[in-house]
């Protein structure tokens, strides 16, 4: 078969598939409705996951384990400890504040509480030199504490050191837990709706084959190949996926517009709507491509299975 003939055949398959879609629009609505819900949940899950990861990253950057050094600890000992910590794979970076800089940091943090600032100045700088250790991952905090509590390092620190700002850790844990729960819910929901969607498309194609059984029989008698007969059904299902992906993108876009304009909200619980909207706009074409690919995949796979099963005996 020449290339020109192949292209002509392919064009006929796409044309017939489009015509069949228009003829079966009432059947297509149910399949597309479920697919729109499926793709919308998937898209929302992707955006939510990216938004939560951004929130976690912002808070993680502010999390640190602080080691407070004794006044008897020399600068060389402190710098050696810093170098040791920087070599730890669990550590992102380390900040060392000598007593003078530690006092300046304390004054800056408590600038609104003049009594604390005055007390620190009158006491002749009671603030110890501090090493602030920032983890690469919150799950590595335990490793950092272990490194700081070795016998050789403990003797350089004040009693009760090291300390950990656990209030931020609680916020991180809450967001991480919410992210994991939503991710699991999203995956399960998408799988369930994808199966329902596939079954509906499967039944839609089955009904279409039944309605066109005489037409298919004639095509068989005229020598049409199985692939030529199956092609329009696959194209029809692919159109379901394409349109459903576009509708799901429009729904999410409308939701962001409503939340920012009508509700004038910048966040919804733990979800940062501003960042989510920015992420959606920045990655619009990538998200649309993913939606279209998944929609077409669900539609075509369902159609291929249906046609393989039902064309065998419907065309005899």
Clarify whether residues 188 and 42 are in a common domain: yes
Clarify whether residues 130 and 259 are in a common domain: no
| Long-range contact pairs involving 180-184 (C-beta distance under 8 Å, separation at least 24) | 182/45, 182/48, 182/49, 182/52, 183/45, 183/49
Clarify whether residues 196 and 109 are in a common domain: no
pLDDT at 250: 92
> pTM for the complete prediction?
0.67
Given its phi and psi angles, is residue 172 left (phi above 0), alpha (psi -120 to 50 degrees) or beta? Answer: alpha
pLDDT at 2: 67
Clarify whether residues 160 and 178 are in a common domain: no
- Could you give the CA distance from residue 8 to residue 17 in angstroms, rounded to a whole number? 14
pLDDT at 166: 55
Select from 97, 130, 164 the last residue of a domain.
164
Select from 164, 186, 204 the last residue of a domain.
164
Clarify whether residues 226 and 284 are in a common domain: yes
Q: Any bridge partners for residue 93, and if so which?
A: 134
Clarify whether residues 142 and 233 are in a common domain: no
Clarify whether residues 192 and 237 are in a common domain: yes
Q: Which mean pLDDT values do the consecutive 10-residue runs of the chain (316 residues) have? A: 74 82 78 84 84 75 81 86 88 86 78 70 76 81 83 85 65 66 75 79 77 76 77 86 91 81 55 82 91 89 81 51
Clarify whether residues 266 and 143 are in a common domain: no
* Tally of domains in the chain: 2
Domain residues for 128?
64-164
Residue 98 belongs to a domain with what CATH number? Answer: 3.30.70.3040
pLDDT at 313: 45
Clarify whether residues 43 and 176 are in a common domain: yes
> Count of alpha carbons within 13 Å of 285, Cβ hemisphere only?
0
Q: Which of 270, 290, 248, 252 is nearest to 49 (CA)?
A: 270
């Amino acid at each position: 078969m020449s290339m020109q003939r192949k292209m002509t055949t392919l064009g006929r398959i796409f044309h017939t598939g489009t015509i069949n879609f228009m003829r079966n629009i009432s059947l297509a609505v149910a399949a597309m409705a479920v697919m729109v819900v499926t793709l919308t949940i998937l898209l929302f899950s992707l955006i939510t996951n990216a938004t939560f990861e951004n929130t976690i990253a912002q808070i993680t950057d502010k999390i640190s384990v602080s080691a407070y050094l004794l006044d008897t600890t020399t600068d060389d000992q402190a710098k050696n400890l810093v170098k040791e910590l920087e070599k730890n794979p669990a550590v992102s970076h380390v900040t060392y504040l000598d007593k003078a800089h530690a006092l300046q940091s304390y004054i800056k943090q408590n600038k609104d509480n003049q009594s604390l600032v005055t007390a620190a100045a009158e006491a002749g700088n009671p603030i110890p030199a501090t090493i602030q250790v920032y983890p690469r991952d919150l799950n590595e905090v335990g490793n950092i504490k272990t490194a700081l509590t070795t016998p050789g390092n403990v003797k350089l620190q004040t009693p009760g050191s090291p300390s950990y700002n656990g209030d931020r850790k609680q916020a991180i844990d809450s967001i991480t837990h919410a992210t994991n729960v939503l991710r699991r819910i999203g995956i399960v929901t998408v799988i369930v709706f994808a199966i329902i969607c596939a079954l509906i498309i499967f039944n839609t194609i089955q009904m279409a084959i039944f309605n066109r059984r005489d037409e298919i029989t004639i095509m068989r008698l005229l020598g049409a190949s199985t692939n030529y007969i199956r092609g329009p059904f696959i194209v029809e299902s692919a159109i379901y996926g394409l349109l459903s992906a576009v509708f799901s993108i429009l729904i999410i876009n409308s939701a962001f517009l409503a939340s920012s304009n009508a509700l004038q909200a910048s966040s919804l619980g733990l979800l940062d709507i501003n960042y989510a909207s920015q992420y959606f706009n920045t990655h619009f074409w990538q998200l649309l491509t993913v939606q279209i690919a998944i929609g077409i995949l669900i539609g075509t796979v369902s159609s291929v299975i249906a046609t393989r099963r039902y064309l065998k005996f419907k065309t005899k």
